[in-house]
Amino acid sequence: MKWVTLISFIFLFSSATSRNLQRVAREAEYKSEIAHRYNDLKEETFKAVTMVTFAQYLQRCSYEGLSKLVKDVVDLAQKCVANEDAPECTKSLPAIFLDEICQVEKLRDSYGAMADCCSKADPERNQCFLSFKVPQPDFVEPYQRPGTDVICKEYQDNRVSLLGHFIYSVARRNPFLYAPTILSLAADYEHALQSCCKESDVGACLDEKAVAIEERAKKVSVKQQYSCGILEKFGERTFKADKLVLLSQKYPRAPLSEILKIVHDVKDIYKECCEGDMVECMDDRAELMTYICSKQDVFSSKIKDCCEKPVVERSQCIIESDFDEKPENLPSVVEKYVQDKEVCKSFEAGQDAFLAELIYEYSRRHPEFSTQLILRVTKGYEALLEKCCKTDNPAECYGNAHEELSKHVKETEDVVKTNCDLLATHGEADFLKALLIRYTKKMPQVSTHTLLEIGKKMTAVGTKCCQLPEDRRLPCSEGYLSIVIQDMCRRQETTPINDNVSHCCSDSYAYRRPCFTAMGVDTKYVPPPFDPEMFSFDELLVNLIKRKPQMTEEQIKTIAEGFTAMVDKCCKQSDIETCFGEEGANLIVQSRATLGIGA
């Protein structure tokens, strides 16, 4: 059985769950999707999410211009609530929003080729519009809050308008941030106003809280874009397998049947959010959180405070809540999946159900592992059973499964320990140098700027994760490294790097990080001609490795010693710039000789 079919059991199981049957029954009451969503969300939230949707598609539009589009959609929703049989009420929500956009006067004048999307049929039309969204656009100013002297009165007198402008500003600057998150940030902003307007120094208070809100927005946005990227690149089954691991770790006391229900709904919700369908994204996520809160005793003891919050704040709170404690005295999975002589019977009778249960059981016992590591272990076990169940003595064949699969765990733990030890011993600067050496050899085609950017991101991962308790280091490290790698792979799609990178990016989600770790020097790389003008102090090391990716540690050491000696000498001179110019040229000559590079 192929890995891509591993989680198909989830489709079969969850499509018939009681929660989904309730949703189908409820939706059958409505002939109009827009009427249904308006009634669910109520007017203020529906208006806010409609503004988010338009601001993310039409990032250059003014608040006043978008307010007119919002009014058109709200008027239609109210009309459809009153009469669902009206012809225009049967359209899907994405079609309603895109039709409204395509009716904007002079759309081409402001957005150029994006106007061509209007000639496409759905769903290609939506995919076309999504491709024109600009992350962190330089043509959009950061949110400018009203002056300290007027903001509290503004909030008191014009709350809806003030918060509306905040939502508009955040949405157009973050076109891939999900609507529930943007509304949650708006709630944080409102709480900040309520708190700070009681303080003597309103501005200082708001400045401090604004930093926290901005950091949270960046963190959540990166994770959401990562999830959308995995869903798009590897498909629904890999995405659901990843979420099955995470939810089993987060809610280890919940039965598998409940976890599978949530996994199915989470996939549907992410699909809506990733496709820009923010009204359905908002409504369905709120409904899912209401369901989880109605069964706190089943899911988690950690979400009580979250469930007491208003709807717009509840979902992000639950998503960010801690893992619940796992049940005590859980038996080892070795008993059922290795020592049992009848494993092959269970595996062959229903492979998907068998392996989904293994993921659940293994994950709830190991919150200290990353989702990717657990998927590697499961994939390795699946391959082992496929081989062993064809032999004359399967039990003997898979009897060493625990030892075999422990190699995946050891490899990951060793990588984390090695890098955390290097960071602790040598500090961030030397850690960054080590990463630059490592990744310039793997990807010498990548620009120096991008290599430095990747190196700094990886160093930040180390700084963040290596200081955590032992049981959180591994999931933190591999989780955030997977995000850095995903960003690298996204660039690879538009600007191919080399065959090794392409293979690691596309072959397996679970094995991406080990693939990059094990990647060697790109032997097919043809270096550029040597140019003395390339010398730059920050970029020297990267450029030299680009000239000769096969350079040895001894050669690197010799060049590094020369660089250190140059810095020591020149920093003592009165004319530092002239010294660096002269000694820099000498260093290039010496480095070229060390590497055996001709003129």
Binding residues for Zn(2+): 277
CB atoms within 10 A of CB 406: 13
Of 525, 551, 546, 526, nearest to 535 by C-alpha is 546
CB atoms within 10 A of CB 597: 15
Inter-CA distances, 533 with 44, 529, 530, Å: 60, 11, 9
CB contact at 8 A, 307 and 314: yes
Q: Would you list which residues are annotated within the binding site?
A: 33, 40, 272, 277, 280, 283
CB contact at 8 A, 220 and 243: no
| 570 CB-near residues (< 8 Å, 6+ apart) | 576, 579, 580, 583
Percent helix, percent strand, percent coil in the chain, to nearest 5: 75, 0, 25
Q: What angle do CA 294, 265, 289 make, to 5 degrees?
A: 30
Of 487, 79, 51, nearest to 278 by C-alpha is 51
Query: Radius of gyration (Cα) for the chain, nearest Å?
Result: 28
DSSP-derived secondary structure for 528-595: PPP-GGG--TTTHHHHHHHH-TT--HHHHHHHHHHHHHHHHHHTTSSSHHHHHHHHHHHHHHHHHHHH
* Nearest-angstrom CA–CA distance, 462 and 464: 5
Of 251, 258, 235, 477, nearest to 372 by C-alpha is 477
CB contact at 8 A, 193 and 206: yes
Long-range pairs of 521-530 with CB within 8 A, sequence gap ≥ 24: 521/441, 521/442, 521/549, 521/550, 522/441, 522/442, 522/443, 522/444, 522/445, 522/498, 522/549, 524/498, 524/499, 525/444, 525/445, 525/498, 525/549, 527/444, 530/592, 530/597, 530/598, 530/599
Long-range pairs of 591-597 with CB within 8 A, sequence gap ≥ 24: 591/540, 591/544, 591/559, 591/562, 592/530, 594/555, 594/558, 594/559, 595/544, 595/547, 595/548, 595/551, 595/555, 597/530, 597/547, 597/548
Q: Would you list which residues are annotated within the binding site for Ca(2+)?
A: 33, 40, 272, 277, 280, 283
